[in-house]
Structure 1
Amino acid sequence: MAGGIQQRGGRGRTRPMSEINVTPLVDVMLVLLIVFMVAAPLLTVGIEVELPETEAQALTEQTEPLAVTLTGEGTIFVQESEIAYDDLVPHLQAVSAAGYDQRIYVRADKGVLYDDVARVMGRLNAAGFTSIGLLTE
C-alpha cells in the first residue's frame, strides 16, 4: 500500500456520465409514429366499403363530414347508423334542421350499381340537399 488508498482494478475513480441516452426515446417515438400512421385512416368512417380509386385531390375539411354510405349488399348508412331507403330523407332533414348545412358525401362500394348510387343522390337532391360529393380513394 504505497500511496495511501489502494485502487480497484488499477483504475482511478470514474466520473458519472452526464449525457442523456436518447436512443430509447427515438425508438419509442418512431413506433408511436408508425402506429398512428396506420390507425389514422381507420378512424374516419366506421363502415367498411371498397371505394373506387381516382386521381382526385384529398379533402381538406376540418370538421367531420356527413357521409351516406352504400355497401356492396345494398345497405344504406348515415355515418354509422343503418337507415332504410325510405327513411333516408326524413333522417337527413332532421340533421339539417339541427343546423348542419355542410356538404353531404356519398360513399359507395365499387361493386354497387351506378343506378343505386344515382337513386340515392337523386333522393338527396329532391330533399333539398344541393351540395353532394362523391368520395373515392
Structure 2
Amino acid sequence: MYQRVRRRKVAEINVVPYIDVMLVLLIIFMVTAPLITQGVKVDLPQADAEPLDEDSKTPLVASVDAQGRYYLTVGANDKEPMSAEEVAILVKAHLAIEPGTPVVVNGDGAVSYDAVIQLMVMLQNVAGVPSVGLMTDSVGE
C-alpha cells in the first residue's frame, strides 16, 4: 500500500502582502501631506519673549495702522504710507544689500486681521523673508 508522506507544517508568515499595503499607504500619505498643510508660517511670539539683542542688526519694521495703511521703518526713518507690494519690494531690496536683517510686523490692535496677513504674505512671497516676527507691547505697558 501507499505510505503517506507527512509534510511538516510551515510556521512562516508571508509578509509580501503587508509590504505592498505599506508602500501603497506611504505613497498616499506622500501625495496628500502637501495638500493638507496651508497657511503662512509665522514665528509666533511667546508670553515671556526676549527683546532683540542690542548688538543685532536694526530690524526692518513693517507697520499697519488702524486705517489699514502700510509703512516701512528702517531705524528711525520718517514713515510714508505705501501699498503692501511697495513695502515688500523695499524689504527685498534691503535684504539684498544686508541679508539676515530681521523683519518684524507691527500691527495696530484695531486693524483687521486680514491686513496683517496680507502684509505677511507679501513679505514672504515677494520679498522672500524666511520668517516674520510680530511686535507686541509688554504686559505692564
Match of 2:135 in 1: 135
Q: Which moved more, 1:87-96 or 1:108-117?
A: 87-96
Structure 2: which 5+ runs fail to align? 1-45
Determine which of 45, 50, 59 is the counterpart of 1:65. 59
Match of 1:74 in 2: 68
Equivalenced residues, count: 84
Whether contact under 8 Å (2:120, 2:132) holds in the other structure is yes
Shift of 1:69: 0.7
Q: Is the 8 A contact 1:69 1:78 kept in 2?
A: yes
1:55 alignment partner, one of 47, 71, 90 = 47
Judge conservation of contact 1:106–1:134 (CA < 8 Å) in 2.
yes
Superposed displacement of residue 95, structure 1: 0.8
TM-score with structure 1 setting the length: 0.55
Q: 1:118 to 1:56 in 2, by over 3 A?
A: farther
Alpha carbon RMSD of aligned pairs, Å? 1.7
Deviation at 1:84, TM superposition (A): 2.2
Q: Which runs of 5+ in 1 are unaligned?
A: 1-53
Q: Which runs of 4+ in 1 moved over 3 A?
A: none
**Which position in structure 1 is the counterpart of 2:113?**
114
Q: Which residue of 2 aligns with 1:91?
A: 90
User: What SS does the aligned partner of 1:90 have?
Assistant: helix
**Structure 1: distance between partners of 2:120 and 2:136:** 15
Contact 1:67 1:78 in 2 (8 A): yes
The 8 Å contact of residues 102 and 131 in structure 1, kept in 2 or not, is answered as: no
CA distance in 1, matches of 2:68, 2:93: 23
Q: Greater CA radius of gyration, 1 or 2?
A: 1
